[in-house]
Structure 1
Amino acid sequence: MPIRPTQTSPARLQRWLERRKQVGSRIREIRTSQGLTQMSLALEAGLSRNMVIGIEWGEKSVAYERLWDIADVLGVNIQELLSDDSSRSSSEGHRPGSAKGSTKSKLSVDPEAR
């Protein structure tokens, strides 16, 4: 296990970059489908707009606690943020209070969904 940034292999760094871009792209896709601005997502999730921009473009790492905050604001299960195009469900995220959304976050995992 590397303890210094210089000990991390280029292949691992590339995988991390690809994963950040994948998650950021999903966040941007769900946010824009709901008509949310980067600023409104940032304010509701307790982030700066610059941080949201960096996350969406895969340039910023984000603490996993913040992923839950973002998922709550978007009204989706956190798994929706982590899924890639081939594995995600056809349902889009719904903000609480929207026509299809519920009034609470969907953070539980359905064991039979596997």
Structure 2
Amino acid sequence: MPIRPQQSSGEQTLRWAERRALVGGRIREIRLEQGLSQEALALESGLSRTMIIGIEWGRKSVAYERLWDIAAVLDCDVTELFVPAQSRPSVTPYRGGSRAMSKSDDR
């Protein structure tokens, strides 16, 4: 049983990434349905906004205890966070400077 990420197989790493994306996508979906901002979810759950962003995009792992904190803020049962999201995110996150500028941005 690997104890460090670098000790896990590529297959295991992919499974973990899929699970993070599933839970993060569902958190994002529920948050958006409720009209809650990432900042509000972060403040009420005790996590940073950066952490919420990382969780929602499947880039950050979260301690399972924190899932209960997030579920409480979203007013749902923690098991709802493990149901696949109905929709995929429609936009990709902005990474400062990597977005092409349009002609209107030149002004």
Q: TM-score range by the shorter chain?
A: 0.7 to 0.9
Structure 1: distance between partners of 2:75 and 2:63:
19
**Cα deviation, residue 85, structure 1:** 4.9
Structure 1 or 2, whichever has the larger Rg, is 2
Alignment-derived partner of residue 62 in structure 1: 62
1:83 offset after TM fit, Å?
Answer: 1.6
Q: TM-score, normalised by structure 1?
A: 0.72
Q: How far off is 1:2 after superposition?
A: 1.5
- Read off the aligned partner of 1:11 and give its amino acid letter: E
**Which runs of 5 or more residues in structure 1 are unaligned?**
87-114
Q: If the length of structure 2 is used for normalisation, what is the TM-score? A: 0.76
Other structure's SS at 1:60 match = coil
Structure 2: gaps (5+ residues): 87-107
Q: Report percent identity of matched pairs.
A: 64
Q: Which has the higher contact order (CA 8 A, sep 6+)?
A: 2
Tell me how many residue pairs correspond in the alignment: 86
Q: CA RMSD in A?
A: 1.3
- Partner Cα separation in structure 1 for residue 85 and residue 24 of structure 2: 13
SS in 1 for 2:28: helix
Pairing 1:19–2:19 present? yes
Q: Which residue of structure 2 lines up, in the alignment, with residue 80 of structure 1?
A: 80
